[in-house]
Each structure stands twice: as structure tokens, then as C-alpha cells.
Structure 1
Amino acid sequence: MLHESPIIQLGGFSIDLSVIIMLVVTCAIVFGLAFAATRNLSVDNPGKLQNFLEWVVEFVQGLISSTMDLKKGKPFLSLGMTLIMFIFVGNMLGLPFGIVTEFDNVQSAQVFGHDIVPVKEALEQAQATHPGEAAHVGVNWWKSPTADAGVSIGLALMIFVLVHFLGIFRNTKAYFKHYVQPFPFFLPINLIEQFSKLLTHGMRLFGNIFAGEVLISVLLKMTALGVGGMVASVLGLVVWQGFSIFVGSIQAFVFTILTFVYISQSIDTHEEEH
């Protein structure tokens, strides 16, 4: 059975509804955690969520201080906390379960009056290849939003724009000068380096989370191999779920600390010359 994404055409754009849903869910969870943790702040008797939030603050401050002067990096504390919590929660959402719906005819492959494009194409292809045979296409509605390349690259692009905005307006002379160092003919290489940071920043996150969800799908399909496959599937899922929590945490950490590294390089480039 094929598991497609619920993509519809709207205003000339291809919109993946599962990504929209999961982004809303991720934002709601992060906002809910932050709201609950700060609702009843107490110095004498802090709650568990308040202690957790304080730990996140201290952890992010440690990341900032490891890459730049804490006084300069303090304005980016909220950014770091939002990034690490959003990415961690997003990475975890695809682990516990999935929501898949099946379609067996083109007419029913619609949502909000719009055709689900991949399902329609898959069913039409199946009918053309094997006419008269029943075809079923599954649509995956629940997954980690960071398992989508558009989301991961979008997060990286946001940081990319911020980093270069800070470099241009807070460290203008040194920012432009470093593109022609150590020699002017290094300009193309330095430009390529900047765009490669954008790609690696986003694709690293996407690749790790997407690969984890693909492996979970493979393990689930092993249940069709009988009792032995079912036992192997359960054991594999238990091990991989635990490892995926570790990988998801590491990727949230890596994305956030690289953000601070890039910001530091942008605002502190050759600062000794000033």
C-alpha cells in the first residue's frame, strides 16, 4: 500500500495539508508548554514545568556563551528557546503513532472540494496498469513536520536571512570584507560557502528525521511476515523509538547551536579590527 502526502492545488500552489496540520499541532504544544510553565511563577515553590523552563533557559544560555559573548548573545535567548523546543517537539510527533486513511477511487480522493493530487495520480496509474483490479492508496496525515524538506529548509532559510541581516547592519565593514579574504579571487568560494551552510543546516535536520520515519514504516510492514515478523517488528520498534528520541534531541541541539555559531560569525567577524 502506498502512503502519499495529502497535497492539494490551491491558487496555483501545491499545499501539503499534513505539513500544515503538524505545524499547527507543534506550535500549539510549544505554546501550551510555555504558557503552563509561566502561568503561576513562584520563587519559593516552583512547579515541574517552571523548573523545566528554567532548565531550558540555562541550557540555551550555555549554548550562547559557548559561541559568543553572553552579553551580545542575550537578545537571541528567546530565538534559541523557541528553536530548540519547536524542533524537539516536531521531531517527536512522528514517533508515537501515525494517521493513515485509504482511498480506492478517484472520486473520493478529495478534501475541502479539492483533489488530493498524489492519490488521484496513483489511482489513475494503477487503473491504467492493471485495469479492473482494485487499487488502494494510503494517505499519511500525521508525521513529524521536520520530516518535510520544505519545513526544515524553511527554518534554515529563516536563520540564513537573520544571520546576513545582522552581518550587514551590525558589522557592515567586516561582513563585506570577509568575502574577499584572504584574497579577492576567493569571493566565489566564500559565496558558495554561505549557500552551502543554508543547505546543510536544513538538510541535516530533514535527512535524519525523514530516515527515521521511513525505517519505522519498514518495521511496521514486517508484521505481514507472520509471527516471526511481528516479534521482530515489535522489538525493532522499541529499540528504534528509543534511538529516535536520542536522534531527535541531538538534531534539535545541533540546529540551535549552529544557529548561534552562524550569528556569532556574522556579528563578530574580524572584530579585532574595530
Structure 2
Amino acid sequence: MHEAPIIQLGGLNIDLSIVLMLIVSCIVVFIIARLAVRNLSVENPGKMQNFLEWLVEFVRGLSNSTMDWKKGKPFISLALTLIMFIFVSNMLGLPFGVVTGYHDASKAEIFGKPIVSVTETLEKLHQQHPDQEAEVEVAWWKSPTADANASMALAIMVFLLSHALGIFKNTKAYFKHYVHPYPFFLPINLIETFSKPLTHGMRLFGNIFAGEVLIAVILKLTSLGPAGGVFSVLGLIVWQGFSIFVGTIQAFVFTMLTLLYISQTYAVGHDHD
């Protein structure tokens, strides 16, 4: 596996590849949204406008399936942004990857900061095999959602938002649901509540990460000669298509669960009164 380009900044380990890919994802989503609304027309809408209108209706349908329109309307923009951002993030690692190799720890620097993941790994390799030239490969371009930190950050953001809405907008019903239908259900309800962000984020991470790992394995078939190259190309074509399907489904599932969690703490909680 390739190393991540990690530097230390303010006592924190910063993965530059994730920062880079999150910025790229935001830029791509902004460009798509800007193109979709650039020339709005009622009589002759363009392809991008039709796509955006379809997506808005699709997200509205997701919202209506979890809560009534009056309560769900304020979250349409959130859901629309999430489904676009996660879909784009899932797709970024499919077309290609950017990998650099390092043999000398003194050259493993960026912005004047050492890439600690490289320097530490090179040092370990030199200690284990002092007579061999060590090399560490660093992946710069990949899907940000293939990193557990990015996926869990999205899940925790949704977790905090949904529970903040429940506490401040639906206080009585929110706290009452923890002892619903009986007080001794409190531990079970608490476990359920705190397990949701874990399953929410890890589901997204696991599916995207597994897809990129398999792509890397398929590419290594080229080292087996001409036959391996043929199988590598065919396998890559098939898996790329399947990965697009998986990435789309995961964007849908994450957004659907976001609206569902919001409805459980903010909207549907009134049913327990």
C-alpha cells in the first residue's frame, strides 16, 4: 500500500492528500452547480439545468420519504450538497492516481515541512535492510472518502447537526425518546444513538476504500506479462463501471441516512408526545 503524505503542523498530523482532494471535490461541485444555474430558462432549459432540476426533485423525494415537506424543506440544500459532494469525492480516485516515490529522506519535504510518513518509513526500512536501497511511494490523488478520517468527519458533522436540532428545536420530545417506550430502554437507546455515526461513516469509507484497493491489485496484474496485461485491462474496465455504481449508491445511502437521522431527532420525535 502507498503511504499518505503526512506533515506535522501545530502538533497535528495533516494528510495533504486528503486536504488536496477535499478542495478539488469542493471546486468540482461548485463548478457543476454554477454551470447548472448559469443560464436558467423556463422555456428552453439546458442539459445542466435539467440535470439539476432532476436532482432537486430526487432529493425532495428522499426528504418526503423521511419527514413531511414542511419540516424537510430547510434540509433540501444540505441533502443536495451532500449527495453531490460525496458522489464527486467517490469518483475522484477512479480515473487515475498520482504516486511519487522517495529514496532519500532529506528530499521528502513540502512547504518546507518534512513528510513524516515517508521519513519514518524510510528509517524503518534502512534499519531492517541496511544493504538495500529503500523506496517509499506516496499517493497524492485518491478519493477523499476512501480515508476513514474524511468519511467519519462527514458522519460526525451529521450526528452533531441532527442532535443539535433535536436538543434546541424539539427539546421535550428529543429527551423523552431515550426512555421510550419504557425507562429501562435508556441504555439500548444510548448505544443505538452513539453507534449511528460509526456505521454511517464506516459504511462509506469501507466501500470506497475496498474499491480503490481492488483497482490497485488489478493494476499489478500487468507485471505478469502480456496475459496479465490483458486481464488487467479487462478487469479494470469491469471494476471501474461497478465502482461508479457503488459510489453512486453510497452517496445516495449517506444522504438518505442523513435525512432519516434528522427526522428521528427533529421531526418524528413529536410522535412520542
**TM-score range for the pair, normalised by the shorter chain length:** over 0.9
Give the structure 1 partner of residue 248 of structure 2: 249
Give the structure 1 partner of residue 115 of structure 2: 116
Give the structure 2 partner of residue 154 of structure 1: 153
The answer as to 2:184 corresponding to 1:198 is: no
Name the SS for the 1:141 alignment partner: strand
Give the structure 2 partner of residue 232 of structure 1: 231
Task: State the one-letter code of the partner of 1:247.
Answer: V
Q: How far 1:271 moved relative to its partner? A: 2.1
Aligned counterparts, 1:60-209, within 5 A: 60-209=59-208
Q: Percent of aligned positions with the same letter in both sequences?
A: 67
Closer, same or farther: CA 139–97 of 1 in aligned 2, 3 Å: same
Q: How far 1:184 moved relative to its partner? A: 1.7
Name the SS for the 1:42 alignment partner: coil
Supply the distance in 1 between the matched residues of 2:97 and 2:207 (Cα, whole angstroms): 18
> TM-score under structure 2 normalisation?
0.97
Name the SS for the 2:141 alignment partner: coil
Q: How far 1:176 moved relative to its partner? A: 0.3
Q: How far 1:270 moved relative to its partner? A: 4.6
Name the SS for the 1:14 alignment partner: strand
Supply the distance in 2 between the matched residues of 1:267 and 1:8 (Cα, whole angstroms): 40
Closer, same or farther: CA 270–5 of 1 in aligned 2, 3 Å: closer
Supply the distance in 2 between the matched residues of 1:49 and 1:268 (Cα, whole angstroms): 33
Name the SS for the 2:101 alignment partner: strand
Name the SS for the 1:107 alignment partner: helix
For structure 2, list consecutive stretches of 5 or more residues without a partner in the other structure: none
Name the SS for the 2:106 alignment partner: coil
Closer, same or farther: CA 27–146 of 1 in aligned 2, 3 Å: same
Supply the distance in 1 between the matched residues of 2:60 and 2:105 (Cα, whole angstroms): 53
1:175-228 deviations in Å (ceiling 9; x for gaps): 101111222222122111111001000000000000000000111111111111
8 A contact 2:176–2:272 mirrored in 1: no
For structure 1, list consecutive stretches of 5 or more residues without a partner in the other structure: none
Name the SS for the 1:268 alignment partner: helix
Q: How many residues align?
A: 273
8 A contact 2:36–2:48 mirrored in 1: yes
Task: State the one-letter code of the partner of 1:52.
Answer: F
Closer, same or farther: CA 184–121 of 1 in aligned 2, 3 Å: same
Closer, same or farther: CA 213–272 of 1 in aligned 2, 3 Å: closer
> TM-score under structure 1 normalisation?
0.97
Moved more, 246-255 or 181-190: 181-190
Task: State the one-letter code of the partner of 2:138.
Answer: V
Supply the distance in 2 between the matched residues of 1:122 and 1:138 (Cα, whole angstroms): 10
Q: How far 1:138 moved relative to its partner? A: 0.7
Give the structure 2 partner of residue 9 of structure 1: 8
Q: How far 1:123 moved relative to its partner? A: 1.0
Q: How far 1:132 moved relative to its partner? A: 2.5
Supply the distance in 2 between the matched residues of 1:273 and 1:258 (Cα, whole angstroms): 21
